[in-house]
Amino acid sequence: MKIISKGKTKAVILSIRKEFMYQDLPKIGLLGGGQLGRMLLQAGIDLDFQISCLDPDPEAPCHRLAYEFTQGSFQDFDTVYQFGQSQDLISIEIEHVNIDALEKLASEGKQVYPQPHLLRMIQDKRTQKQFFQQYGFPTADFRLIESREEIHQHLDFLPAYQKLGKGGYDGKGVQLISNASQIAEGFDAPGLLEKAVDFEKELAVIVARNIHGEVKAFPAVEMVFHPVQNLVEFLISPAAISKEIEAQAVDIATRLIQEMKMVGLLAVEMFLTKEGQVLINEIAPRPHNSGHQTIRANATSQYEQHLRAIAGLPLGDTSTTVFAGMLNLLGEAGYTGKVKYAGLSEALAIPGVYPFLYGKKITKPFRKMGHVSIIGDSREVVEEKANQVRKIIRVIS
């Protein structure tokens, strides 16, 4: 009888796994290995998807969970093209990727979802806004600008938010210009001025469309943003809005993904004005911060829904099963270094409190380090628990 060492046994097992598994499901290559990718991988395990990741950070949240992890830039043409050649299907967890490489892969027969031309449009907030305008979707008034100096030509349009056309996300690349004295603090790059909206609430609807054209939307959620960092600090689901406003928000998101003919998951951030009008703010063609709570609070999570959509599977039930909230865990100001989660044990003792930590080893001020999903029998219960958790957990070093 021949004895096989543990190392050789492991190699044999891995070779069998690669040869005999995943015959019916596509091999998925994911551009990005951050926290959204991490939750996509976790959802993919249940359906036995083979998901490989590309990310520049060797310690990215996905690096230990991916079927294969490749360190490299998702913005470099050759890196993305070579990574995609070994996959059946390529998707994203961040939209700031090399579109030229994705277009070449698609031209050679690879499935790329969301489609590259849509990613190109969404990458630039200027073309996003022009798309909304061209196809009659409600959005705040805006002015395109090429430089900081051009803001002086639109003084009658202030107060307005200046947004960088490209590169801004997670609150970066957005700032309020209230009057002429603040123009010097603006971005000196192509972008837009968006009229400041006197809104009642900020809402989000996540909607999915699969390759067969089936569309399903999640119920609207209500978001509260951090006053300084412009990141979602807290959200609650479902949003406290009328049935008419809910129907209006869901209809806008549904029509938008259908007009785009996009395959995948689309997050649509919206303003609810004090006059009861719903306006599109921005969109993201991927799982989104406003859908984290769906893991615990909805029949199907946004992550599973994205995988179903791009793989051509039937879309899952999006109904909300319980009241839920979500708190982002941000690195506390004044702390940089190896992360510590103070108060985690105390928070875990509260029923209906579920922390999700992203596996990032180093904390920095306002860096996203995790989130907490909170469920309860009513909105009031969720808000009460959220206030408790907010006081208990601190992300320090």
Q: What is the pLDDT along the chain (397 residues), one digit of tens a residue?
A: 222 233 333 333 333 344 434 457 899 999 999 999 999 999 999 999 999 999 999 999 999 999 999 999 999 999 999 999 999 999 999 999 999 999 999 999 999 999 999 999 999 999 999 999 999 999 999 999 999 999 999 999 999 999 999 877 666 789 999 999 999 999 999 999 999 998 999 999 999 999 999 999 999 999 986 655 556 778 999 999 999 999 999 999 999 999 999 999 999 999 999 999 999 999 999 999 999 999 999 999 999 999 999 999 999 999 999 999 999 999 999 999 999 999 999 999 999 999 999 999 999 999 999 999 999 999 999 999 999 999 999 999 9
Q: Is 334 left (phi over 0), alpha (psi -120 to 50) or beta?
A: left
**171-179 — which CB contacts under 8 Å span 24+ positions?**
171/225, 171/226, 171/229, 171/230, 171/231, 174/230, 177/151
CB 218 within 8 A of CB 319: no
Least Cα distance to 74 among 50, 90, 59, 86 occurs for 90
Tokens of 315: 């879309």
Give the list of residues 6+ apart from residue 45 with CB closer than 8 angstroms, or none: none
The length of the chain is 397
Least Cα distance to 280 among 81, 175, 135 occurs for 135
Euclidean distance between CA atoms 256 and 251, whole angstroms: 8
Is residue 227 reached through a cis peptide bond, with omega within 30 degrees of 0 on the bond before it? no
Give the list of residues 6+ apart from residue 12 with CB closer than 8 angstroms, or none: 4
Euclidean distance between CA atoms 204 and 288, whole angstroms: 10
Least Cα distance to 284 among 301, 270, 266, 258 occurs for 266
